[in-house]
């Protein structure tokens, strides 16, 4: 029998291409869940209208999410934990790590632009984990692609079967609301961006004459025909296929205008999975086990710029987490206890006394944690699935103020511990090289070094565009390789050797020349 506290938990991430409306949807969930009273529309470059989940200064200035926010609230007898992820492609690795900490996903698609490149990449990560996915087609108040065309595009590009559980009535200037195929009722909305103003009309079926009190005859006829077609093409919702990540329910709405939000939230709470077992390298960890276990999937320094704090985000996998209890840090082989573990409502924090599987708690960290670290009650466990990926841009750090060297080194170390980018140390001279996926990461590092650590640096672009972790069963051969290729070798944060190359051709040549060396595209090769 699973503990009711675990059954109550619904932990999920909201993912999308930038500008599809992901952060707005997050905010509206908080609004409908009663966690906030009014919502300020997310507008670029207006700090006074910044949304609840974007709390870093650079995010407020640019109107994009570059760090994962964690928000929890109670709704309809459930504990909802939302992880809002960066949409920008330069922070895909942070999103990937976040997906390791959730039980399901809501993927937001812009009805005007359809499936975009980043949407496909994010979906491929969900497929790797068989994560259950719900799709929310946003911005239906704008003139966009036809619903049936959108569904075809999503099925083809994302390689997943769909099952619409709601259907839009009109689109753009004719948009009236949504009909719930799943719950058999009509949701009519006013365009109120700040308050919860839904009006739900229960209807027995689409032949119900009561519909004519709210919609024109032509609208009712169009809705009847379309829903009949949906039923014929997509069939009924199959819970088991959804749980296996093979079937995605689809909802339509407009997050900024509160259209369709309650519909997706209520249905999500009903069908989305509660926490399940987790794979560790040693064994499967069952959610109902008595002993506590959890892993760190994110670290964030200076969440509060007034206090130089550093918080590790811990996903609980089994047992019960308790404040002031000693837990075993498997990598460091030592015991730690936490006097002020944090519960989150975006940037609002409160102390939590106990937490259950599915919950995410923030642990004040004085430098004990790295991403992927495991806490248990004594057992040696290492949870799978939080690798580093091969970056494609490499730049050497050049200190612009020698008087602030200590601050620069501390800043670089903490920001790369957070996973903003990767740090490689090259010899001779302990040269620090930052590896990243995109230019925006360097912008963020520069901004945060200056504003949070008082340190200034510039980045000198290197010719490398590929990296591979290198291992060998023959230590002598590995040592020989590292010596010969010293100018191309960096050490990552775990002191593992990484081979840096200018292009794929160079990697292929090196592989041929050194057949005893194994080359890995991610750090998870153990």
* 372-377: average pLDDT: 93
DSSP run (H or E) holding 461: strand 457-461
Residue-level length of the chain: 526
Domain boundaries, the chain: 4-271, 278-376, 393-520
pLDDT band at 67 (very low <50, low <70, confident <90, very high): very low
Domain spanning 393-520, CATH architecture: 2-Layer Sandwich (3.30)
Whether the CB-CB separation of 157 and 174 falls below 8 Å is answered with no
Mean per-residue pLDDT of the chain: 84
pLDDT band at 515 (very low <50, low <70, confident <90, very high): very high
Rounded CA-CA distance 1/245 in Å is 25
Q: Name the DSSP letter for residue 522.
A: B
Q: For residue 492, which of 337, 343, 392, 388 has the smallest C-alpha distance? A: 388
Whether the CB-CB separation of 454 and 404 falls below 8 Å is answered with yes
pLDDT surpasses 50 at 68: no
Domain spanning 4-271, CATH architecture: 3-Layer(aba) Sandwich (3.40)
Structure-token match 């922070």, residue found: 91
pLDDT band at 22 (very low <50, low <70, confident <90, very high): confident
Between 498 and 263, name the one with better pLDDT. Answer: 498
- The contacts of residue 104 (CB under 8 Å, 6+ apart) are 10, 11, 12, 131, 132, 133, 134, 272, 273
Residues 327-347: b if buried by 16+ CB within 10 A, e if exposed? bbbbbeeeebebeebbbbbbe
Same CATH fold assignment for domains 4-271 and 278-376: yes
pLDDT band at 307 (very low <50, low <70, confident <90, very high): low
pLDDT surpasses 90 at 73: no
CATH 3.30.565.10 fits 278-376, yes or no: no
By DSSP bridging, strand 354-355 and strand 9-16 are unpaired
* 325-349: average pLDDT: 86
Between 313 and 53, name the one with better pLDDT. Answer: 313
Which ranges constitute the DSSP H helices of 130-260?
Answer: 147-158, 217-234, 239-243
pLDDT band at 198 (very low <50, low <70, confident <90, very high): low
475-501, pLDDT tens digit by residue? 999 999 999 999 999 999 889 999 999
Rounded CA-CA distance 385/372 in Å is 8
């Amino acid at each position: 029998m699973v503990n009711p506290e675990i059954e109550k938990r619904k932990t999920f991430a909201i993912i999308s291409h930038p500008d599809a409306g992901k952060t707005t949807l997050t905010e509206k969930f908080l609004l409908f869940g009663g966690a906030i009273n009014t919502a300020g529309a997310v507008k670029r470059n207006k700090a006074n209208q910044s949304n609840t989940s974007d709390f870093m200064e650079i995010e407020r200035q640019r109107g994009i999410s570059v760090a994962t926010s964690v928000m929890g609230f109670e709704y309809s007898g459930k504990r909802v934990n939302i992880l809002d992820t960066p949409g920008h492609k330069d922070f895909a690795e942070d999103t990937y790590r976040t997906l390791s900490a959730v039980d399901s996903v809501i993927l937001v698609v812009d009805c005007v632009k359809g499936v975009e490149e980043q949407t496909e990449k994010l979906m491929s990560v969900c497929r790797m984990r068989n994560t259950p996915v719900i799709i929310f087609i946003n911005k239906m108040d704008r003139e966009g692609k036809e619903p049936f065309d959108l569904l075809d595009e999503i099925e083809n590009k994302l390689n997943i079967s769909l099952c619409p559980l709601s259907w839009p009535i009109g689109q753009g200037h004719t948009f009236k609301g949504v009909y719930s195929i799943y719950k058999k009722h009509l949701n009519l909305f006013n365009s109120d961006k700040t308050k919860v103003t839904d009006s739900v009309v229960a209807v027995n079926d689409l032949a119900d004459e009561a519909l004519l009190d709210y919609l024109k005859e032509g609208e009712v006829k169009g809705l009847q025909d379309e829903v009949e077609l949906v039923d014929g093409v997509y069939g009924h919702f199959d819970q088991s296929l959804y749980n296996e990540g093979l079937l995605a329910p689809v909802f339509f709405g407009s997050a900024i205008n509160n259209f369709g939000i309650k519909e997706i939230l209520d249905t999500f709470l009903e069908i989305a999975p509660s926490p399940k077992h987790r794979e560790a390298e040693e064994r499967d960890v069952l959610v109902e086990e008595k002993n506590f276990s959890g892993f760190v999937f994110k670290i964030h320094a200076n969440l509060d710029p007034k206090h130089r704090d550093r918080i590790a985000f811990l996903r609980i996998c089994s047992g019960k987490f308790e404040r002031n209890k000693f837990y075993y840090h498997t990598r460091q082989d030592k015991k730690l206890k936490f006097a002020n573990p944090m519960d989150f409502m975006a940037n609002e924090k409160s102390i939590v006394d106990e937490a259950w599987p599915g919950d995410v708690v923030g642990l004040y960290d004085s430098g004990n944690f790295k991403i992927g670290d495991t806490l248990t009650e004594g057992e040696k466990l290492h949870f799978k699935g939080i690798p580093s990926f091969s970056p494609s841009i490499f730049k050497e750090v050049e200190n612009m103020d020698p008087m602030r060297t200590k601050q620069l080194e501390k800043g670089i170390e903490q920001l790369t511990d957070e996973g903003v980018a990767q740090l490689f140390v090259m010899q001779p001279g302990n040269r620090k090289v930052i590896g990243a996926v995109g230019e925006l990461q360097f912008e963020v590092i520069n901004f945060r070094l200056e504003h949070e650590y008082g340190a200034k640096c510039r980045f000198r672009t290197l010719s490398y565009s590929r990296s591979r972790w290198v291992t060998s069963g023959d230590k002598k051969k590995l040592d020989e390789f590292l010596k010969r290729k010293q100018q191309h070798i960096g050490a990552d944060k775990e002191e593992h050797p990484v081979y840096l190359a200018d292009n794929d051709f160079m990697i292929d040549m090196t592989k041929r020349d050194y057949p005893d060396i194994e080359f890995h595209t991610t750090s998870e090769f153990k």
